[in-house]
Amino acid sequence: MKKILLILILLLSISTYSQDKERHERIKALKIAFITERLELTTTEAQNFWPIYNAFDAENQRLRQETKGKFRKVDFESMTDQEAKSHVEYMMATDTRKHDLKQKFANDLLKVLPAKKIILLKATEDAFNRRMMEQFRKRREGSRKENRP
């Protein structure tokens, strides 16, 4: 009985992870299409742009996860001043790393795209994120209405 329960829990965990991964991949595909369309990338631009963008995005995501993981474990109530100072220093160092990453990203993009398209990229990413948040809110509101008696 315990083995069956353990197997069921494992399968549910894998299923949930798989669904999250599929959702993430769908969002990524939508974002790629949205950016490509808005920036009107030529074939050559796209071939040079996407490896740079994907490398930046992966490193940026890694930094976010690292920071999130570090602060998830923090017990703010029992933290000493020295521990708090250490966390502040870590936050500042992480911000510097993020800034350096963004600078490298912009400099790399300048080699393959006109500056106007780089500015448009930022506006396009912001528009995509707004659109995703709006859809998320609509779904959440819809599910709340369905759950009301």
Q: Per-residue confidence at 148, pLDDT binned at 50, 70, 90?
A: low
Contacts of 18 (CB under 8 A, 6+ apart): none
Judged against a pLDDT cut of 80, whether residue 62 lies above it is answered with yes
pLDDT tens per residue, range 73-89: 778 788 899 988 988 99
Kindly report the backbone phi and psi dihedral angles of residue 63, in degrees, each rounded to the nearest multiple of 5, phi listed first: -65, -40
H or E element, residue 43: helix 43-72
Average pLDDT, the chain: 85
H or E element, residue 111: none
Q: Per-residue confidence at 10, pLDDT binned at 50, 70, 90?
A: very low
Count of beta carbons in the 10 Å neighbourhood of residue 28: 12
The Cα–Cα gap between 70 and 141 comes to 32
pLDDT tens per residue, range 93-127: 999 999 999 999 999 999 999 999 999 999 999 99
